[in-house]
A = this chain, B = another copy of it.
Amino acid sequence: MIADGPRGLIYGLFELARGSRTGRYEPSYSRRMIDHWDNVDVHPVMGQVERGYSGGSLFWADGRFRGDLDRIRTYARLLAATGINAVTINNVNVHATEARLLTDRRHEVAVIADQFRRYGITTHLSINFAAPVLLGDLPTADPLDPRVRRWWTAAAARMVESVPDFGGFLVKADSEGQPGPFTYGRTHADGANMLAEALAPHGAVVHWRAFVYNHRQDWRDRSTDRARAAYDHFTPLDGQFADTVIVQVKHGPIDFQPREPVSPVLTAMPSTRLAVEWQVTQEYTGQQRHVCYLGPMWAQTLGLAPELSAVSNVGDDPFWTGHPLAQANLYAAGRLAWNPDPINVLDEWITLTFPSAPSTLRSILHRVMDDSWLTYERYTAPLGVGFMVRPGHHYGPDVDGYEYTPWGTYHFADRNGVGVDRTVATGTGFTAQYPPPQNSRYESLETCPDELLLFFHHVPYTHVLHNGSTVIQHIYDTHFDGAAQVEAMITTWRQAADLVTPALHTRITELLDEQLRSATEWRDQINTYFYRKSGIPDHLGRPIH
């Protein structure tokens, strides 16, 4: 076996374990990082893990380090087997307790890093940009203040003493209430470069999130468009970031909806190191109670950035991921960097997870999982409009839940039509953030893909899609079809009763029952909402309440 370095040998070994015999293997992402949103303290709203649907944190419980090194080691091996080579161990929302992981609790980082290191995984830390103030050492966190620079230099050096191969910092700055350089009239580049200066001598890097937008919008103000925000904030800074700063960009322009266009930032910053960010934890895609295999969605952004960050869906659940089949998302988040075919990756996961299963089980799982993302899309928010979820927890439908809120996520449905006009001609001008030919493709009603129609255009319910159906009929059809497909999943899964352990079969069956209940609720609320608004009945006369 030949590899560029010792890590390559690890991946070669797992490759052999997958039954591979020959070939060259180079990942499409140089760094493949898992971001944990684990809190040290139990957050009063978000709990132990923000958007965590798999139990508690592997690292912390109730403010204390759990110290279960066996579990962390097993987890490290699991990640390495999927091709992951970096991990950020705490939530990007860094509160007072978590801020201390950088200082007097860094021995916890060291112990965790020791476990990950065995499997070629470097450990990174989310930090609070205002840590010099938050921890009481300085009156300012201004990135151009020499005292602040010295503070971070010292903090980085101490961290590297504890973790010699420390990976670096991940930062959510000036976003959703987190502190950042704006407080001091500085730019994101000023902030990121200051941290890079502290880390670079140690070979460590800064991941700086591009998830910055106005979350105190007035819904009455039609001039603001949240989709524009990351591009507007970051592209003017292209070329200003240090070499060891990676700007981390969500895969879509808004926030991990089941269907968004690819973020225009990913093609607009040629002089900046970029990472694409995926959300493996299923915040908007069924919260690990629904089967929703996300590999096909992520495949859309393969190759658009040199690095990958994926938000973890793992907890101390016995199946790691709550829903046993959500393991496939964790697997794909790493493996897609090596194998760009998401269904083939899913097949790998099935084969490795059920090594002695008959081919019927493999076939059953493919039937349940291959198209599960599209099924989920069908019974939830239609045609790329997104965000029709219950505020706060984000599970289940509430069409107007965010419509009049400060979060900038609107659908503008009225009695005539629905959708957000983001065209240059008559809307927010967001389409201009794309290079040709995408810009004109999205701008034009004729060429805009149906699945993104309402993301880019406000159209009447009678607008005819490329498939010949009207928008309103498409809403009814997809919602009836989506819920029916979940019923079909249940029928299919029933055939696996004797092919897996009873415990596993029961757990997945129970979760599928909840998925059907939820899909039916989505179907009925969405259909009723749009029927009440449009007054146009279903062509096929199916029941709308």
List the B side residues contacting A531 at CB < 8 Å: 414
Contact present for A398 and B397 (CB under 8 Å): no
A182 within 8 A of B: no
Contact present for B415 and A532 (CB under 8 Å): yes
A277 within 8 A of B: no
A288 within 8 A of B: no
Q: How far is the CA of A398 from the CA of B534 in the complex (A)?
A: 20
A38 within 8 A of B: no
Given A397-B404, A404-B397, A414 contacting B535 (CB threshold 8 A): yes
Q: How far is the CA of A397 from the CA of B400 in the complex (A)?
A: 11
Of B219, B414, B525, B545, which contacts A533 at CB under 8 A?
Answer: B414
List the B side residues contacting A220 at CB < 8 Å: 524, 545
A413 within 8 A of B: yes
Chain B residue nearest to A544 in the complex (CB): B220
List the B side residues contacting A529 at CB < 8 Å: 400
Chain B residue nearest to A545 in the complex (CB): B220
Q: How far is the CA of A529 from the CA of B404 in the complex (A)?
A: 10
A171 within 8 A of B: no
Chain B residue nearest to A526 in the complex (CB): B404
A399 within 8 A of B: yes
Nearest chain B CB to A299's CB is how many angstroms away?
A: 34
List the B side residues contacting A532 at CB < 8 Å: 413-415, 533
Q: How far is the CA of A528 from the CA of B404 in the complex (A)?
A: 10
List the B side residues contacting A413 at CB < 8 Å: 532
Contact present for B525 and A404 (CB under 8 Å): yes
Q: How far is the CA of A397 from the CA of B532 in the complex (A)?
A: 20
Q: How far is the CA of A222 from the CA of B399 in the complex (A)?
A: 20
Interface residues of A in 251-268 (CB under 8 A from B): none
A416 within 8 A of B: yes
Q: How far is the CA of A219 from the CA of B545 in the complex (A)?
A: 9
User: In the assembly, how many copies of this chain are there?
Assistant: 2
Nearest chain B CB to A97's CB is how many angstroms away?
A: 19
List the B side residues contacting A534 at CB < 8 Å: 415
| Chain A interface residue number, banded | 20 to 34
Nearest chain B CB to A462's CB is how many angstroms away?
A: 14
Residue interface bits A495-538, CB-to-B below 8 A is 1, else 0: 00000000000000000000000000100110011011111000
Chain B residue nearest to A525 in the complex (CB): B404
Contact present for B535 and A415 (CB under 8 Å): yes
Residue interface bits A410-430, CB-to-B below 8 A is 1, else 0: 000111100000000000000
Nearest chain B CB to A387's CB is how many angstroms away?
A: 14
Nearest chain B CB to A418's CB is how many angstroms away?
A: 10
List the B side residues contacting A415 at CB < 8 Å: 415, 532-535
Interface residues of A in 357-406 (CB under 8 A from B): 397-401, 404
Chain B residue nearest to A521 in the complex (CB): B404
Nearest chain B CB to A535's CB is how many angstroms away?
A: 5
Interface residues of A in 15-42 (CB under 8 A from B): none
Q: How far is the CA of A401 from the CA of B404 in the complex (A)?
A: 11
Q: How far is the CA of A535 from the CA of B534 in the complex (A)?
A: 11
Of B397, B400, B521, which contacts A399 at CB under 8 A?
Answer: B400
Q: How far is the CA of A529 from the CA of B413 in the complex (A)?
A: 10
Q: How far is the CA of A219 from the CA of B529 in the complex (A)?
A: 12
Q: How far is the CA of A220 from the CA of B528 in the complex (A)?
A: 9
List the B side residues contacting A521 at CB < 8 Å: 404
Given A414-B532, A415-B534: 13 more A-B contacts, CB < 8 Å? A220-B524, A220-B545, A398-B400, A399-B400, A400-B400, A400-B529, A401-B401, A404-B521, A404-B528, A414-B535, A415-B533, A532-B533, A533-B533
Residues of A within 8 A of B (CB): 219-220, 222, 397-401, 404, 413-416, 521, 524-525, 528-529, 531-535, 545
20 A-B pairs within 8 Å (CB atoms) are namely A220-B524, A220-B545, A222-B545, A397-B404, A398-B400, A398-B401, A398-B404, A399-B400, A400-B400, A400-B401, A400-B529, A401-B401, A404-B521, A413-B532, A414-B531, A414-B533, A414-B535, A415-B532, A415-B533, A415-B535
